[in-house]
């Protein structure tokens, strides 16, 4: 890849693409996914020579989805690449997911030769203009000698503050040209290998005010979002909750902020909930932790109701006041902020814990009552299979260290409501940054690469799976161990269910699919395929999949009734029959 100059042993002559690859290696970069083209060939050749793990994938959107899931599970920087034009623009949807979810990514894209730009070069577009709003920062390389500097910046921006995707746009001529670099050019700060690279503490006076409010609260509650996981603060939050007896509710991305099986876990809040919305309604002080309080989490901005005292802890100051006006703003890292709150409470924490014992004891009692009320759905023997029964069996089979990836649409909502993490940490990986369907398969690939040895299940709908199933070939080629569970209702289920709710029975259009046997599709890709039509077969199929080497697809035939396709009342719907509720 590089040769030492005879004039100076410290000089390394290499292409721009080789310099990029060398910088990725310097940061300990993990697997990289992309689909090559002339503009990025030097990067690929350097990856080959350096032994960097690089894998062909069938769609650049999927490449970024893989990188996103890898980053969410590992905390390390996810890597993807694309060539000019359609390769670059195919990344847009997945970049938006990573940007909104706070996933640290570095994506290298090739661009046109600068001497010929704007002369209708093949595949030329204003890709920089298209990509810029979909990433945390877009870095355009205009000088080959600056590649190491700008790659250092890419990793630094990706891993600091709220993490996010950084796109490095490299013109063809700079990717192919050579330059005499020095060894010193490739020295990096290892702090930027993973997020959060840097941590900052909230203002001490604000922490003291927040501690006073919590110490005097009659019925406080914590609302935990995905920022808990970005900070690696799940154990810190769990310790805080147990030390104070303050219940914790979570968003879809915040699941696992404390174990779902913990007695203090109030479960999901917002559009769909078990008991959390009721607890929030009765609360007087709300501690929002690493949560943006978006539409779904707030049930279209109605939860919490006005009049609550709100303390908001977040690394992004711009989130303060966007949805609720906080009494106290704690601007800083979630993990450090929770530790500081605990320290500020001091001896008052024990008194608070004793005073809140009745509240704490009410949480598991309410949860048990909820489970009893919905047990008919959780353990349903109906055919086609109830999705609630499917999630119940996943809860039974997936071990404590297991990971459940959830595709967009109702897969994420069903799993967000009913799946139970058994320990603190990121055991649930939904694509709720942008909620695009098609995440299930590439998300499983990324999770399996990030956590080898941990069981990985992925829940996806048949419509979302059809978008990406070509990358079953990728999964088989890499011989990855994971299971994709296809919720097969022969429909774009969420759309069909919403049409049913809003317009009435039978009033749906462009929502039905042909019946597909995805077990046979999996077998055609040299993967294991299992088809399940009976609820009693679910547990055995899931256990068989976990014991099978290589990718497994379980095709589960679920209800075709649009009245039963959603896990509860969608807050946007005007009318819903009371009997259709599970939450």
- Closest to 172 measured CA to CA, from 61, 42, 33, 64: 42
Average of per-residue pLDDT across 273-295: 97
The pLDDT of residue 568 is 72
The pLDDT of residue 498 is 87
Q: Based on DSSP, count helices (H) and strands (E) in the chain, helices before strands.
A: 23, 21
Q: What is the C-alpha to C-alpha distance for residues 66 and 59, in angstroms, rounded to an integer? A: 11
From the candidate CATH numbers 3.30.465.10, 3.30.565.10, 3.40.50.970, 3.30.70.270, the one assigned to the domain spanning 379-580: 3.40.50.970
Name residue, tokens 């019946």.
Answer: 515
Q: What is the C-alpha to C-alpha distance for residues 418 and 391, in angstroms, rounded to an integer? A: 6
Of all helices (H) and strands (E), which one includes residue 501? helix 493-503
**186: Cα within 13 Å, side-chain hemisphere:** 21
Q: Is the peptide bond before 196 cis (omega within 30 degrees of 0)?
A: yes
The pLDDT of residue 94 is 98
- Closest to 424 measured CA to CA, from 225, 183, 262, 209: 262
Q: What is the pLDDT of residues 287-330, one digit of tens each?
A: 999 999 999 999 999 999 999 999 999 999 999 999 999 999 99
**154: Cα within 13 Å, side-chain hemisphere:** 30
CB atoms within 10 A of CB 118: 9
Q: What is the pLDDT of residues 435-456, one digit of tens each?
A: 999 999 999 999 999 999 999 9
The pLDDT of residue 570 is 54
Q: What is the pLDDT of residues 477-529, one digit of tens each?
A: 999 999 999 999 989 888 998 898 889 899 989 988 999 999 999 999 999 99
Q: What is the C-alpha to C-alpha distance for residues 390 and 494, in angstroms, rounded to an integer? A: 17
Q: What is the C-alpha to C-alpha distance for residues 434 and 98, in angstroms, rounded to an integer? A: 8
Q: What is the C-alpha to C-alpha distance for residues 124 and 381, in angstroms, rounded to an integer? A: 56
Distance set, CA 539 to CA 379, 401, 426, 453, 546 (Å) = 12, 18, 24, 21, 11
- Helix or strand or coil: residue 438? coil
**What one-character-per-residue DSSP string does 162-190 give?**
S--EEEEEEEHHHHH-EEEEEGGGG---G
Sheet of strand 137-140, all strands in order from the earlier edge strand to the far edge: 54-56, 32-35, 78-82, 105-111, 165-171, 137-140
CB atoms within 10 A of CB 133: 11
Instruction: Spell out the alpha helix ranges (H) of 41-103.
Output: 41-50, 60-74, 86-89, 92-101
- Contact in structure between 256 and 282 (CB atoms under 8 Å): no
- Closest to 226 measured CA to CA, from 341, 91, 71, 330: 71
Q: What is the C-alpha to C-alpha distance for residues 253 and 251, in angstroms, rounded to an integer? A: 5
Longest dimension (CA), the chain: 82
From the candidate CATH numbers 3.90.650.10, 3.30.499.10, 1.10.10.60, 3.40.50.970, the one assigned to the domain spanning 3-193: 3.40.50.970
The pLDDT of residue 502 is 87
Name residue, tokens 């359609």.
Answer: 86
Q: Is the pLDDT of residue 580 over 70?
A: no
Q: What is the C-alpha to C-alpha distance for residues 328 and 207, in angstroms, rounded to an integer? A: 8
Q: Is the pLDDT of residue 275 over 80?
A: yes
CB atoms within 10 A of CB 129: 9
Q: How confident is the prediction for the chain on average, in pLDDT?
A: 94
Q: Is the pLDDT of residue 6 over 50?
A: no
Q: What is the C-alpha to C-alpha distance for residues 85 and 551, in angstroms, rounded to an integer? A: 32
Name residue, tokens 């007695």.
Answer: 263
| b/e map 232-249, b = 16+ CB within 10 Å | bbbbbbbbbbbebbbbbb
Q: What is the pLDDT of residues 50-94, one digit of tens each?
A: 999 999 999 999 999 999 999 999 999 999 999 999 999 999 999
The pLDDT of residue 371 is 95
**DSSP state, residue 77:** P
Average of per-residue pLDDT across 350-372: 97
- CATH 3.40.50.1220 residue window(s) in the chain: 204-363
Structure tokens at 473: 């070939």
- Contact in structure between 378 and 389 (CB atoms under 8 Å): yes
- Closest to 309 measured CA to CA, from 291, 290, 283: 283
The pLDDT of residue 9 is 56
Fold assignment, 204-363: Rossmann fold (3.40.50)
Q: What is the C-alpha to C-alpha distance for residues 65 and 77, in angstroms, rounded to an integer? A: 13
The pLDDT of residue 501 is 84
Rg over alpha carbons for the chain, rounded to the nearest Å, is 25
User: pLDDT tier at 266 (50, 70, 90 boundaries)?
Assistant: very high
The pLDDT of residue 113 is 96
- CATH 3.40.50.970 residue window(s) in the chain: 3-193, 379-580
- Closest to 409 measured CA to CA, from 493, 466, 518: 493
User: pLDDT tier at 567 (50, 70, 90 boundaries)?
Assistant: confident
CB-neighbour burial class of residue 364 (10 A; exposed 0-12, middle 13-18, buried 19+): middle
């Amino acid at each position: 890849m590089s040769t030492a100059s005879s004039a100076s042993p410290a000089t390394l002559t290499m292409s721009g693409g080789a310099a990029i690859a060398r910088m990725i290696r310097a940061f300990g970069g993990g697997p990289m996914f992309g689909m090559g083209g002339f503009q990025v060939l030097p990067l690929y050749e350097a990856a080959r020579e350096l032994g960097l793990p690089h894998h062909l994938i069938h769609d650049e959107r999927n490449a970024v989805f893989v990188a996103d899931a890898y980053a969410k599970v590992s905390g390390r920087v996810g890597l993807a690449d694309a060539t000019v034009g359609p390769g670059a623009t195919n990344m847009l949807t997945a970049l938006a997911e990573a940007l909104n979810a706070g996933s640290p990514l570095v994506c290298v894209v090739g661009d046109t030769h600068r001497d010929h730009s704007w002369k209708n070069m093949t595949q030329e577009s204003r890709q920089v203009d298209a990509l810029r709003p979909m990433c945390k920062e877009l870095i355009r390389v205009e000088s080959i000698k600056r590649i190491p500097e700008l790659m250092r910046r890419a990793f630094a921006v990706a891993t600091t503050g709220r993490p996010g995707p950084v796109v490095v746009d490299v013109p063809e001529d700079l990717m192919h040209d050579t330059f005499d670099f020095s060894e010193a050019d490739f020295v990096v700060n290892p702090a930027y290998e993973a997020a959060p690279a840097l941590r900052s503490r909230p203002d001490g006076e604000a922490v003291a005010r927040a501690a006073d409010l919590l110490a005097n609260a009659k019925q406080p509650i914590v609302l935990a979002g995905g920022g808990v996981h970005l900070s690696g603060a799940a154990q810190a939050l769990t310790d805080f909750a147990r030390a104070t007896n303050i219940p914790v509710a979570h968003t879809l991305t915040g699941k696992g902020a404390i174990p779902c099986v913990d007695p203090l876990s109030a479960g999901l809040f917002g559009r769909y909930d078990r008991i959390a919305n009721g607890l929030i309604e009765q609360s007087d002080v709300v501690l929002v932790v690493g949560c943006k309080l978006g539409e779904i989490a707030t049930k279209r901005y109605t939860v919490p109701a006005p009049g609550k005292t709100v303390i908001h802890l977040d690394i992004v100051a711009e989130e303060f006041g966007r949805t609720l006006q906080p009494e106290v703003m704690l601007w800083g890292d979630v993990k450090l902020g929770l530790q500081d709150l605990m320290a500020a409470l001091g001896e008052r924490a024990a008194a608070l814990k004793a005073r809140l014992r009745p509240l704490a004891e009410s949480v598991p009692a309410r949860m048990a009552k909820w489970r009893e009320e919905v047990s008919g759905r959780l353990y349903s023997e109906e055919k086609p299979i109830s999705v609630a029964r499917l999630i119940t069996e996943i809860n039974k089979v997936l071990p404590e260290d297991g990971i459940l990836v959830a595709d967009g649409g109702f897969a994420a909502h069903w799993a967000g409501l009913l799946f139970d993490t058994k320990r603190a940490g990121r055991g649930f990986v939904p694509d709720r940054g942008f909620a695009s369907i098609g995440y299930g398969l590439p998300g499983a690939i990324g999770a399996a690469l990030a956590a080898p040895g941990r069981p990985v299940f992925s829940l996806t709908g048949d419509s979302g799976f059809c978008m990406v199933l070509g990358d079953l070939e990728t999964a088989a080629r890499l011989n990855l161990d994971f299971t994709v569970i296809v919720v097969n209702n022969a429909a774009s289920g969420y759309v069909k269910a919403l049409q049913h709710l809003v317009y009435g029975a039978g009033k749906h259009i462009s929502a039905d699919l042909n019946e597909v046997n995805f077990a046979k599709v999996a077998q055609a890709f040299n993967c294991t395929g299992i088809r399940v039509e009976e609820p009693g077969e679910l547990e055995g199929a899931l256990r068989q999949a976990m014991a099978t080497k290589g990718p497994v697809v379980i095709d589960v035939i679920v209800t075709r009734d649009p009245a039963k396709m959603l896990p509860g009342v969608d807050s946007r719907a005007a009318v819903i029959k009371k009997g259709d509720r599970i939450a």
